[in-house]
Each structure stands twice: as C-alpha cells, then as structure tokens.
Amino acid sequence: MAEGGGSAAGVELDGVSVTFGGVTALSDVDLSVGDGEFFTLVGPSGCGKTTTLRTVAGFETPSSGTVRIGGTDVTDHSPEDRDIGIVFQNYALFPHMTVRENVAYGLRYRSPPGEVDTAERVTAMLELVDMAGMGDRQPGSLSGGQKQRIALARALAPGPDVLLLDEPLSALDARLRERLRVSIRGIQRELDITTVYVTHDQEEALAISDRIAVVRDGHVEQVGTPQAVYHTPATRFVAEFMGENNVFDATVASRDPPRASLDGTTLPVDGPLPDRERVPLCVRPEDVTLGDGDVTLPVTVEHVEFLGDAYRVHCEWNGESLLAKTRREPAENAVSIGIDAVDVTVVGSQEE
C-alpha cells in the first residue's frame, strides 16, 4: 500500500525544553526517530513522556529547542499544520458523529497522497483496523478495544507523515492490550509509518518497539533497541525500571579478568569494567538459578510466590535482598543459588 506518502518523515527533537509556569517538564531533550521507525517513550508517570509527544504534536510549545518533522522545522507550526495523526488513551472519538464521520473528519482538511475518494478511503481504513461494516455505529455503542481501533483509523485516514500514540492501550484489560498491540505493530509495518508511542508499561515498550527511549524527570536516560535497553542498561534507573532486576553496589576487584567485589565476595563480570572504583552491577532474576553457578551464594529464602510459569523467590544474602525467578520451587529455607559471569552486567558500561 502507498499510505504514509513518499516524504521521508523522521522526527527530531533538538535541545527541546518545555516549562509549565516555571516548572521544567522537559529539559534539553535530544531525540531522533528514523523514517518508518517504531519509537517508544517509556517512563514512570509524570516523567515527561507525554509532554514530549505533545510537543511533537504541537500542543505544547518548547521554551527552547527545535522540533523537526521530515527535516522541516515545525517548532512554530500549529498542530493542524504538522501532518500528524494522534491517538489518545481515552480514544477522544467525537461522540456526536458516527464511526464513519469520525474517520472522515480529517479528510475535510487533508488528503492522503493521490486522488482518493473520501468514502472509499474511510472504508479502506475501517478494513485496515478490522472494523469493516461498523461505519454507521455511534462511538458510544462500541467497546473500548473497538473505540481504540476507530481512533487509530481516524488518525491514519488523512495519511499523516507521523503517527503519535499516547498510552493507547492503558485503558484496556490485559488480554485485549496484548492482542491490540500486535495489530498496531502489524498496521504500522504495513504502512511503514514513522510512529512515536508513549507508554508507562515497560513490557509493552519491549514488545512493540524498534527502539526505546527511557524517560525520567524530564530527560532521556537511555535510547536503544529493546535488547540493548534490557541487557545493557545505561543507568541504575533503567536497570531497575525495565523489568525486574537485582542491582548491587560493588567495587572493582580486578580488571583482567574482570572481577567485582561485593561485601567480600568476588563476582566474575561480563565485559570490561569502567574506569571507576565503584560499579553498580545487575543480575536479572531469571538468570539466577537454584544450585551452583560460576559463583554460588548461600541464601535464606524469605518468601515464595507461585506465578504459574515460574516461582518468584525472595531471598536474603548477606543483608542484601535478592530476587530469583526459578522453574522449580526451592525445597527448603536455606539454599544455594548460582550466578554465571555472563549474566552479571555492569550498569553503564556502554557509557563513559
């Protein structure tokens, strides 16, 4: 399909700051989203991810910095002049219009590339989101998931350069959320449209994105592929926010071979150590095994949760709490757990 138009439509933020009545919501944010890329902003609530999206859309005006879409400086452009499509968490379907009228609304003001008939376009869009035949319904009569599909169709109908999604799945229940995120990703691939996605759900971010920016307190902590962000966190915050993690403050024991020291215990480490004395280390709970490993630690089991596919084991070792995710239930209270060198990641080893 030819949707999305021919124009290369990356999004760039260059030193963007946004303040609300003296309070800084975003400070000096640089981001670059490639043409056709699915880019996700993830972070806790109030971190500035939605503000970033709204700045791209033109609903917030930066106090400094530049916003570019497709290479054009749009910092001073109104939202209606930016060729974007946006989907909000609460759908924001126009309640006084039918589904068809909602989807057709943007076509009053903008046309997708090429000669397109409005009625045909609306039908095609409804088919795209799997809602063919629902055109005459009132938005009020739809379920949450259906509303979100219509909101997506409406945003895509005028063939925008950039699609912006602001927590589109947060109001839906877990099952539906997983189904819809697969279809959103499918549609995005089909149209090859540059997409900026905002979510507070790190699992959703990992599952759906080409690249992720982890946002915290108005600045970007790390940008990278889901694998990079998950396996080589740049900061302690990223290590703890993206999935469950055990983070320890260790000191360098030796650099070759890389060894770190944690309360007198020496741990083998994956990869080179940075030029610092103190290094935060992280080990994912799923990498902790019951029994032996490169290093074996005697721990006390404090609490066990059964999750269905695994056990979540809360342990205590040397005064530190440690989380393990195991296939088997620990047999007793005092057990040994093993950690392999390859699973011990140095937080921030990629930086500095």
Partner 1 sequence: MQRPAADRLALPAGLVVTLAVLGVVFYYPVSRVLLAAIDPGGAAFAPIRAILADPFYTGIAHYAFADPLGVPEGIIAWVRNGIPLAAVEFGLFGFTAYQAALSALASVALGLPGAYVLARYEFPGRKTLRSVTIVPFVLPSILVAVGFQAMFGATGLVNEFLVAVGLGRIDVMFTLPIVILAHAFYNAPLVTRLVTAAWEGIDAQQIESARAMGASPLRAFRDVVAPQLIPAALTAGLLAFVFSFMSFPIVLALGGLELQTVEVWLYAKVQSLALEEAAALAVLETVITLGLMYLYLRYEATQVGIRGGGTSQSRRPLLAGTKTLGDPRRLAVFGYGLVAAIVFLGPVVSLILESITGPDGGFTLAYYEFLLAQQASAAVGTVKPLPAIQNSLLFAVGTLLLAVPMGVIVSIVATRDGRGGRLAEALLSAPIAVSGIVVGLGLLQTLVFGVDVLGHRLTVTGPVAVVAAHAVAAYPFVSRTVTPALAGLDDRLAEAARSLGASRVRALLTVTLPLIVAPLLAGAAFAFAISIGEFDSTVLLAEGGGSYTMPVALERYVGNRSLGPSLGPATAMGTVLLTVTAVSFVVIDRVGGRYDG
Nearer to partner 1, 165 or 297 (CB): 165
Query: How many Å apart are CA 128 and CA 122, to the nearest integer?
Result: 10
Q: Which of 32-40, 53-61, 115-123, 196-204 is the region at the interface with partner 1 (rule: CB under 8 A)?
A: 53-61
Type of residue numbered 95: P
Shortest Å, Cβ 33 to partner 1:
17
CB 247 within 8 A of CB 240: yes
Beta strands per DSSP E along the chain:
11-20, 23-33, 38-42, 64-69, 72-73, 84-87, 162-166, 194-199, 211-216, 219-224, 246-255, 258-262, 265-268, 278-283, 289-290, 295-306, 311-317, 320-326, 334-339, 345-346
* Binding track over 138-167 against partner 1, x by CB under 8 A: -------------x--xx--x-----x---
Shortest Å, Cβ 79 to partner 1:
4
Among 22, 23, 45, 78, binds partner 1 (CB under 8 A): 78
Kindly state whether residue 311 participates in binding partner 1, applying the rule CB under 8 A: no
Kindly state whether residue 351 participates in binding partner 1, applying the rule CB under 8 A: no
Nearer to partner 1, 154 or 284 (CB): 154
Kindly state whether residue 90 participates in binding partner 1, applying the rule CB under 8 A: yes
CB 73 within 8 A of CB 62: no
- Give SS3 for 156: helix
Q: Which of 71-79, 197-205, 236-244, 296-304 is the region at the interface with partner 1 (rule: CB under 8 A)?
A: 71-79
Kindly state whether residue 84 participates in binding partner 1, applying the rule CB under 8 A: yes
Cβ atoms within 10 Å of 253's Cβ, excluding its own = 17
Query: How many Å apart are CA 185 and CA 209, to the nearest integer?
Result: 8
CB 43 within 8 A of CB 241: yes
Nearer to partner 1, 45 or 78 (CB): 78
Kindly state whether residue 79 participates in binding partner 1, applying the rule CB under 8 A: yes
Q: Contact positions toward partner 1, by CB under 8 A? A: 21, 57-59, 76-82, 84-86, 88, 90, 92, 94-96, 105-106, 108-110, 151, 154-155, 158, 164
